[in-house]
Amino acid sequence: MDAAGTKEACGPKDVMRPGPPVNEVQRSGTMSQVVILDAMWRWASKNECNNVQNGPVWIATNAITTDFPPKAARQ
């Protein structure tokens, strides 16, 4: 919920699918505040992360890429 990472946006059992498009709002160090767009209409899940759906959240800037997670990590 913050650039310092002192408050997590999601709980331990919450789910956020990898790969949704984001709109970067601002940067602070290695973190970016983003609004996540559910372009594939997949919000409905058993353990969804409501904070991600309801407003901007902070993620690692290097996670904003067309290859995340990296192909090597998916093998």
Residues 2-39: pLDDT tens digits? Answer: 999 899 998 888 877 777 888 999 999 999 999 988 77
Question: How many C-alpha atoms does 54 have within 13 Å on its Cβ side?
Answer: 7
CB 64 within 8 A of CB 22: yes
Range of the structural domain that residue 56 is part of: 1-66
For position 1, what pLDDT does the model report?
92
Does 74 reside within a domain? no
Does 72 reside within a domain? no
CB 40 within 8 A of CB 16: no
Does 14 reside within a domain? yes
Does 48 reside within a domain? yes
Does 20 reside within a domain? yes
Residue 67 reports pLDDT greater than 80: no
Does 71 reside within a domain? no
Instruction: Name which of 15, 26, 52, 25 is nearest 37 in CA terms.
Output: 52
Does 47 reside within a domain? yes
Q: How many CB atoms lie within 10 A of CB 13?
A: 8
Does 75 reside within a domain? no
Total of domains in the chain = 1
The model's pLDDT over 50-59, given as tens digits with 9 standing for 90+, comes to 888 889 999 9
**DSSP classification of residue 62:** G
